[in-house]
């Protein structure tokens, strides 16, 4: 199970892999990442 502390790091790693595979969706990946990290910061 992934702890809350490691979740942003795992998410960043997955986002980096996706960007390497499909660079055209970079803007969407960044937007989703920022939204998720923001929600974790607010509610976590």
Q: What is the pLDDT of residues 4-15, one digit of tens each?
A: 567 777 777 777
- Using pLDDT thresholds of 50, 70 and 90, give the confidence band for residue 17: confident
Is residue 27 included in any domain, yes or no? yes
Q: In the 8-state DSSP scheme, what is residue 44?
A: -
Is residue 2 included in any domain, yes or no? no
Is residue 1 included in any domain, yes or no? no
- Provide the domain count of the chain: 1
Mean pLDDT for the chain overall: 75
Angle between helices 7-21 and 26-43 (to 10 degrees): 170
State phi, psi for 22 to the nearest 5 degrees.
-130, 80
- Using pLDDT thresholds of 50, 70 and 90, give the confidence band for residue 3: low
Other C-beta atoms lying within 10 Å of the C-beta of residue 32: 14
Global pTM value: 0.50
**Which of 31, 26, 28, 33 shows the shortest CA–CA distance to 10?**
33
């Amino acid at each position: 199970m992934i702890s809350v502390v490691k979740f942003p790091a795992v998410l960043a790693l997955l986002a980096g892999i996706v960007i390497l595979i499909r660079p055209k969706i970079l803007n969407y990946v960044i937007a989703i990442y920022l939204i998720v990290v923001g929600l974790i910061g607010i509610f976590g």
